[in-house]
Amino acid sequence: MESWKQNKAVFWVTALPGVVWLLLFFLIPLALIWGMSFGEKTSIVDIEITGTLANYLRSFEAVYVKIIWKSIWISVISTAVCLAIAYPIAFGICFSPARWRPLLLLLVILPFWINLLIRTYALIAVFRTRGTLNFTLEWLWDLAFLDKLVGPYQPLELLYNNGAVIVGMVYVFMPFMVLPLYATIERLDRSYLEASLDLGASQWRTFFSVTVPLTMPGIVSGIILVFIPMLGMFLVPDLLGGTNAIMIGNVITDQFKAANDWPFGAALSFLLMYVTFAALAVRAFIGSRMKGGVGV
Dihedrals phi, psi of 282, to nearest 5 degrees: -60, -45
Eight-state DSSP code of residue 201: -
Under the binding rule (CB under 8 A), the answer on residue 194 touching other proteins is yes
Under the binding rule (CB under 8 A), the answer on residue 213 touching other proteins is yes
Q: What is the distance between the alpha carbons of residues 137 and 271, in angstroms, rounded to a whole number?
A: 43
Under the binding rule (CB under 8 A), the answer on residue 295 touching other proteins is yes
Under the binding rule (CB under 8 A), the answer on residue 195 touching other proteins is yes
Q: What is the distance between the alpha carbons of residues 212 and 219, in angstroms, rounded to a whole number?
A: 8
Provide, rounded to whole angstroms, the least separation between the CB of residue 96 and other proteins.
16
Provide, rounded to whole angstroms, the least separation between the CB of residue 192 and other proteins.
5
One residue of 77, 80, 214, 279 binding other proteins per CB under 8 A? 214
Piece of 33-41, 105-113, 141-149, 205-213 that binds other proteins (CB under 8 A): 205-213
Under the binding rule (CB under 8 A), the answer on residue 98 touching other proteins is no
Could you give the C-alpha distances from 239 to 81, 102, 174, 225, 245, in angstroms and in order?
20, 33, 18, 22, 10
Q: What is the distance between the alpha carbons of residues 93 and 110, in angstroms, rounded to a whole number?
A: 15
Provide, rounded to whole angstroms, the least separation between the CB of residue 190 and other proteins.
9
Q: Which amino acid is at 273?
A: M
Q: Are 259 and 44 in contact (CB under 8 A)?
A: no
Cβ-based nearer residue to other proteins, 35 or 217: 217
Cβ-based nearer residue to other proteins, 36 or 210: 210
Compute the Cα dihedral for 96, 101, 103, 105 and give only its sign. Answer: positive
Under the binding rule (CB under 8 A), the answer on residue 219 touching other proteins is no
Provide, rounded to whole angstroms, the least separation between the CB of residue 285 and other proteins.
18
Residues 6+ apart with CB under 8 A from 211: 185, 188, 193
Residues 131-190 that bind other proteins (CB under 8 A): 189
Residues contacting other proteins: total by CB under 8 A? 19
Q: Where are the beta strands (DSSP E) in the chain?
A: 39-41, 47-49
Under the binding rule (CB under 8 A), the answer on residue 97 touching other proteins is no
One residue of 89, 210, 240, 251 binding other proteins per CB under 8 A? 210
Q: Give me the residues that bind other proteins (CB under 8 A), please.
A: 189, 191-192, 194-202, 205, 209-210, 213-214, 294-295
